[in-house]
Amino acid sequence: MIQRRNFLISGLLTTMMAATRPAQAAEGIALPTPDPSKLATDAGFWSGVRDLYDVDRSTANLENGYWGIMARPVLETYVENIQRVNRQNTVYARKSFDADFSAVRDRVAGALGVSPEEIAITRGATEALQTLIAGYNKLQPGDAVLYADLDYDSMQYAMGMLESRRGVAVKTFAIPEPATREAVLETYRKVLEETPRAKLLLLTHLSHRTGLVMPVREIAAMARAKGVDVILDAAHSWGQLPLDMTDLGVDFAGFNLHKWIGAPVGLGFLYIRKGRLADIDTHMGDKDWPAEDIRSRIHTGTLNFAAALTIPAALDLHQTIGVAAKHARVSHLRNYWVERIAGIGAIEVLTPNDPALHAGITSFRIKGKVSKDDNAAIVTRLRDEFKVLTVRRAGVAAGQCIRVSPAVYTTEAELDRLVAALTVVAA
């Protein structure tokens, strides 16, 4: 049995959680849901959360979209699991791991609110989504597949591969900039209308390029009405946003566990709604599991056992803080720096202020600076001169940009450093 840890390491945090966390402190004990609008800026609460993380603050790390720091209790659990697996070696792997791994899968499914039969653990969202795209077997020669400029590179490559593998047409399109909900919906409506042979749409819930949150439910409904299946990239959304798979209305999705959930690097999972499993091929003819079992859709070889065993500890903390609180906090941190650079005319913020269209990630561009060299130079200057880490993002149709991604352990003081740096860099 995987031991659950007590993350409430300070009296202050214990008191705050007892009053506010939307999870269960113990089996069967329901706690009230906090008011995210107040919890987002509660200095005592978030100081307690930050105390759970060991962060090198010599540089203000605003590049947390790559992967998330494990909280100290999660890291300690990971180390214990490494030691246990290393000590027991194949005795553990052959005797006990399958049952433990099945319990991990059950826990992930429960956290997402789906059946364990609908998910399979992978080494990340990329592996999950590549598997879904490559395995989707309903395409015929002459059909079309669709993706946007804001979708993730590896997924774009996989969609492009379908042209030679399945004989389909690949249609790409750009999300309007600046984006609005109406403009985004109109873009998808138009591309679906103009592509009557479309059968598959790649849709990113929260873009890694700009942080734009797509109105997934409405887009998925439009696609369904046209007979188009949606594969949802949820790598950045679960952990930043409240998420309900039934409400989203998609049948296929890929998720990360090492970004905003805080599990060890190299973990994710794929989702296939019940009744749709046959539309994804078994992985490379896999025979380890029956074709009726979703685990036949992914075969990763020897796993990082210890990392997988640590997933429940990461979910414990995620649920203890609460997704509503996390969403409120990262949105507040995003708004904090965006509001303070609003008067700098040379800076274009690419993610709209509409709270339904962003969470914590937001990208900016200095007017006229659209090339790789331009943005690489800005990132380097921010890092070396001002000790602020950001990342250059390519692929946006209107030009390259710079991404800022704070996390729950980010401080307002670190964002003040970003604002001060941009005041100089954009002058």
How many CA atoms lie less than 13 Å away from 227 in the CB half-sphere? 9
Looking at residue 113, its pLDDT comes to 97
Give the type of residue at 155: M
Structure pTM?
0.92
Spatial distance between the Cα atoms of 191 and 195, rounded to a whole number of angstroms: 6
CB 174 within 8 A of CB 368: no
Q: Mention every residue, 6+ apart, whose C-beta is less than 8 A from residue 67.
A: 258, 259, 265
**Contact (CB, 8 A) for 166 and 305:** no
* Cα-based angle 265, 270, 273 (whole degrees, multiple of 5): 155
Compute the C-alpha angle 158/170/188, nearest 5°. 100
Q: Are 230 and 175 in contact (CB under 8 A)?
A: no
Say how far apart CA 90 and CA 83 lie, in whole Å.
Answer: 13
Q: Give Cα separations from 14 to 3, 25, 134, 268 (angstroms).
A: 20, 10, 46, 30
pLDDT tens for each residue of 98-148: 999 999 999 999 999 999 999 999 999 999 999 999 999 999 999 999 999
Q: Are 403 and 393 in contact (CB under 8 A)?
A: yes
Tell me phi and psi for residue 41, to 5 degrees.
-120, 15
Q: Is 111 helix (H, G, I), strand (E, B) or coil?
A: helix
* Residue 295 · residue 278 · CB < 8 Å: no
Element (H, E) at 128: helix 125-135
DSSP H or E segment with residue 233:
strand 229-234
Give every residue of the chain whose pLDDT is below 50, as ranges.
Answer: 1-32
Q: Read off the tokens for 87.
A: 């000590």
How long a stretch of residues is the chain? 427
d(C-alpha 401, C-alpha 259), whole Å? 21
Residues 6+ apart with CB under 8 A from 5: 73, 74, 76, 77, 313, 316
CB atoms within 10 A of CB 31: 17
Cβ 231 vs Cβ 133: under 8 Å: yes
pLDDT value of residue 399: 98
As a dihedral over the C-alpha atoms of residue 73, residue 77, residue 82, residue 83, rounded to 10 degrees, the angle is 100
Spatial separation of the C-alpha atoms in residues 20 and 35, rounded to whole Å? 8
Q: Which domains does the chain have, with CATH numbers?
A: 7-69+322-427 (3.90.1150.10), 91-314 (3.40.640.10)
Handedness of CA 177, 181, 183, 184 (dihedral sign): positive
Instruction: Return the H-helix or E-strand segment holding 200.
Output: strand 198-204
